[in-house]
Amino acid sequence: MKRRDLLKSLAWSGAGIAAVSCRDQEEAARLVAESGDVDQRGLTWQKAPCRFCGTGCGVQVGVADGVVQAVRGDEASPVNKGLLCVKGYHLPGFLYGEDRLRYPMLRDGSNYRRISWDEALDLIASKFREALDAHGDRSVAMYGSGQWTVHDGYAASKFFRAGMGSNNVDPNARLCMASAVVGFMTQFKSDEPMGCYEDFEEGDDFILWGNNMAEMHPVLYSRILENKRKNPSVRIVDIATRRTPTTDYADMYVQFTPGSDLALANGILHLLVANGDVDEAFVRENVIFKRGNENIEEIGFGCWGPDGTSTNPADGPAERYGFGDTARNSSLEELERFLEDYSPARVSEISGVPVAQIRSLARMYGDQSRGTVSLWCMGVNQHSRGTWMNNLITDLHLLTGKISRPGSNPLSLTGQPSACGTVREVGTLAHRLPADMNVNVDAHRAIAEDIWNVPAGTINPRPGYHTMDMFRALARSDIKVMWIQVTNPWVTIPNLNRMISERPDDDDRFIIVSDIYPTPTTAMADLILPSAAWVEREGVFGNTERRTQHWNQMVPPPGEATEDAWQIIQVAKRMGYEHLFPWPEDNWHEPMYEEYREFTLGRGKDVAAYQQLRETPGMLWPVVDGKETRYRYAAGYDPYVQKSSGVHFYKAKDYGEKAAFWLRPYHRPAEVPDDEYPMWLTTGRTLEHWHTGSMTRRIPQLHQAVPQGYVEVNRADALDLGINEGSMVKVSSRRGTVDLPAMIDGRGRPPRGTVFVPFFDENRLINVLTLDAMDNLSKEPDYKKCAVRIELA
Amino acid sequence: MNRQRRLTLAVGSLLAVTACLSQPEQIEREIAASSAEVRAARRAYDGAPPVIPHDNLGTTCAECHDERGVNVPGLGYAPAQPHNETSGVGETARCRQCHVFAVTGAQFVGNSFVGVAQAPRSGARATDGAPPTMPHRLQMRENCVACHTGPAARTDIVSEHPERENCKQCHVEVAVTRSFVPPNTAGVE
């Protein structure tokens, strides 16, 4: 050992004897606390929710010199307790792609030229005004996002409904969780889950319905895995159409034929009744029974042709669907008769699930000694009977009374960071107003007109176009001016061939796109607006578990980029709607939010005050007297409950303050494999990429991990077709073709006869192949089931 | 050339250069710099989870990256994993939730992000001879031996007394910041 090292070592060992007391540790912590949040490296740290998924992880953002230089998981956030996923850890990079949009750009022939904000905003205002005057309120549209902040969504909704008198505002969340909204509304008359993330520690059995949580909600899956590590009796059941990283940690993998989850859920209900596992006291006190329109001929699938599945208008008749259902009252006795069709043997035949597994699932749901948490996301929501499937999962909990109590809940997961906070709570769907209210209800419009201080009759009672219809109307030129913010429909809309794909010189439509990077959607725009992203602006998101989270602006946006809400407000002001946005330019976030908050107070949707959001890692609504609610409808937790014990579904006035159990049958999917197209195609996401990859693909580490789209092929199918790992495979449906490299036994392993393709790759658009069939009630399209053929390219 | 080979070359050439020098201190500095460079190249910023610098070996990560680190014959030294105590990062954890392979060196488009650089600091000593405090947070790296001991440790942070095991008996974590700041105090331009 060198002399210098020896001396050092001696010094260390001598000091080692002086063990550190608790008092010293406290003092050290105090000193750091007093030194503020600038750390030794010169970084200032502040909280923000993650920009990406609906989990809503708390992030500490490290800023120096006006630039985000680091992030870390926020240990004070109850959501993630310090952990992030690979997307979250690489958040800073998404702000600094070299091709950030910096200036408003106007189409000029085949190019774009830079214009000023004044020119851009004046132009939008005049286009909207011209369209309104010449073609009316159906000719203007705004296509928004579950990634809009609460401010963005509130500004858009108010501008459209209270300003232009149009309800043509709808978000990409229509493609994402509209079925969950209709599910909760039809059963509880109030949207969003009763449970919260503490269910992950409180529950015993976690039943995942078509939900690859390990990749899509990785931090939440970690919470379940941690529970399982501490409590080996915890069980995870993965009900899915392909094996995924989620399956690797599951105690039981239940593989079902795409679309047959409807039959499987009814099969479990059948056994619960047959086994005497109905919680009769709970049902008598808290549940009513309903039944809706089950006629497949009347419902269709939202496309053309006699059965509603054709994509060719010549096949007529026109698409059949509409808002609402024809509900009638039902009963437990009728349910018992209804379920006779769903014997284990028949369900097994429809679904391919072994009878033993159906029985096993029924025992789990029926076991009153164990907490049961059902989890689902896109597999259930992006389903041509997605609302029904949402209903059926909640039915399992209603029949067994396993609801609104810690560790027993149907917990619907959302995909986008503010799908709940903005789309569902602010109400940016074409038929919604804030706080569970609808534009087609007179009393609801009156409440909104009062808070917005506009004359009675201002708000249009007719719902606007939902997303699928909005783009069909644009293709027909019924919509003349469309403004798109924070989303990328020319990658994500199913059956992309039905979208307009080029802009003729005499096109009378005007498309405005606000984004942060060039995308296939900005390529369709007449006017491109540069937006500020994430911590380049102040904002509020609301996550899956009803947690509203606020963040400050921390860095300046690049170039002349501005926040989306500001863009909307400026256009509104130019159209004569100054009165809708009366707040000072330098302080409008808080007063706008507080105005929105008025809608929520006293309605069981009470969001926290702005100041409280600043000071906390988010609050779970309803927030009453400054206290959050972990379990809605539960006595002892929810201040609105007027019972001393049990549950009280107080929002469902029409149901006598009970929850509705809906009888929902099995319907076949819109398109099933046949001789010509013999395989199922299912699409989805991947851990490393957020949606269409416009942000995550610009982060080197994420792009380098998953640089391109691929097709997962079963090894036996690959052998039959001479496909090797990496072979280029031509995937074709009735609507189009795409070439993709094959992945065999990779992270996802589909069964024979199924292929999976992620949708993030704008150069390999899988949505050219998908079918635009949709749920009859939510109008959410089904990205998980259509028929394809594969061959070596 | 993939990232791993580039790194190996970079380290190799640095070692070759330093081998010509006669002063031991100079060599020590060069080796420290190179080990720091390797570490930095695998991370988006100081504190980011490193990308996986080797190919997929078809086994579980914890097989080699256990609590102590493993010398894998023919492959090299697999350092211990540093966060076995982190909530949610238990034995059922998914390493690849945060650590990813690089299957290409290409970029989708260029990116100008520059993360905070690693800057090893000394901990504070209350008196001469007192044990230094920990100069960094323990979040996600509670297992001190992962970075401060073994052949994979950066040379400038290697502990001289790894045999003492319980590091936290003498060294305390002070790099704790408050979780939330009062509003409107950010350095917004």
**Distance (Å, whole) CA A48 – CA A50:** 6
> Is-contact A482 A164, C-beta < 8 A?
no
- List chain A residues with CB under 8 Å of B97: 85-86, 214, 218-219, 222, 687
Range among A19-28, A748-757, B139-148 rated most confident: A748-757
Q: What is the pLDDT of residues A316-329, one digit of tens each?
A: 765 656 666 889 99
> Is-contact A304 A766, C-beta < 8 A?
no
Neighbour count for residue A19 (Cβ, 10 Å)? 11
Which of B111, B135, B183 lies at the smallest CB-CB distance from A98?
B111
Q: Which residues contact A18 (CB under 8 A, 6 or more apart)?
A: B130, B131, B170
Higher-confidence residue of A58 and B8: namely A58
Averaged pLDDT, A446-474:
96
Q: What's chain B's Rg over C-alpha atoms?
A: 19
Q: Which residues contact A66 (CB under 8 A, 6 or more apart)?
A: A555, A556, B187, B189
Sequence ranges of the domains in chain B: 1-41
Helices A117-135/A564-574 angle, 10° precision: 60
Sequence ranges of the domains in chain A: 23-95, 105-176+432-594, 192-417, 679-792
Task: Compute the Cα dihedral for A433, A434, A437, A442 and give only its sign.
Answer: negative
- List chain B residues with CB under 8 Å of A533: none
Percentage of chain B modeled with pLDDT above 70: 75
Cα three-residue angle A436-A437-A438, rounded to 5 degrees: 125
- What does the buried/exposed string (b/e) look like for A212-221 if buried means 16 or more CB atoms within 10 Å of the residue's CB? bbbbbbbbbb
Averaged pLDDT, A704-712:
97
Interface pTM, i.e. ipTM: 0.88
| CB-based contact, A86 to chain B, within 8 Å | yes
Which of A45, A97, A226 lies at the smallest CB-CB distance from B88?
A226
Q: What DSSP string describes B69-81? A: -EEETTTEEEPPP
Averaged pLDDT, A458-463:
96
CATH class of A679-792: mainly beta
Q: What was the pLDDT predicted at A10?
A: 34
| CB-based contact, A101 to chain B, within 8 Å | no
Q: C-alpha distances in angstroms, B187 versus A68, A95, A535, B1, B115? A: 12, 18, 12, 42, 18
> Is-contact A112 A105, C-beta < 8 A?
yes
Tokens 């953002």 belong to A61
Q: What was the pLDDT predicted at A320?
A: 59
Averaged pLDDT, B35-39:
84
Q: What was the pLDDT predicted at A317?
A: 63
Percentage of chain A modeled with pLDDT above 90: 89
| CB-based contact, A232 to chain B, within 8 Å | no
**Distance (Å, whole) CA A77 – CA A749:** 34
Q: C-alpha distances in angstroms, A631 versus A196, A374, A651, A655, B10? A: 7, 15, 14, 21, 56
* Terminal-to-terminal C-alpha distance of chain B: 42
Q: What was the pLDDT predicted at B25?
A: 78
| CB-based contact, A231 to chain B, within 8 Å | no
Whether residue B179 has pLDDT greater than 50: no
Q: What is the pLDDT of residues A358-369, one digit of tens each?
A: 999 999 999 999
Domain A192-417 has CATH 3.40.228.10: yes
Q: What is the 3 state secondary structure string of A139-170?
A: HEEEEECCCCCHHHHHHHHHHHHHHHCCCCEE
Beta carbons of B88 and A222 less than 8 Å apart: yes
Q: What was the pLDDT predicted at A732?
A: 98
Helices A355-366/A344-351 angle, 10° precision: 120
| Inter-chain Cβ pairs, chain A and chain B, closer than 8 A | 247
Beta carbons of A96 and B112 less than 8 Å apart: yes
CATH class of A105-176+432-594: alpha beta
**Distance (Å, whole) CA A412 – CA A54:** 11
- Return the bridge partners of A527, or none: A106, A512
**Distance (Å, whole) CA A387 – CA A399:** 18
- List chain B residues with CB under 8 Å of A76: 179-180
Which has the closest alpha carbon to A46: B48, B117, B186?
B186
What are the residue numbers of the active site of A?
Answer: 87, 176-177, 378, 415-416
> What CATH number belongs to A23-95?
3.30.200.210
- Return the bridge partners of A482, or none: A141, A511
Backbone angles phi, psi at A71, to 5 degrees: -135, 160
| CB-based contact, A697 to chain B, within 8 Å | yes
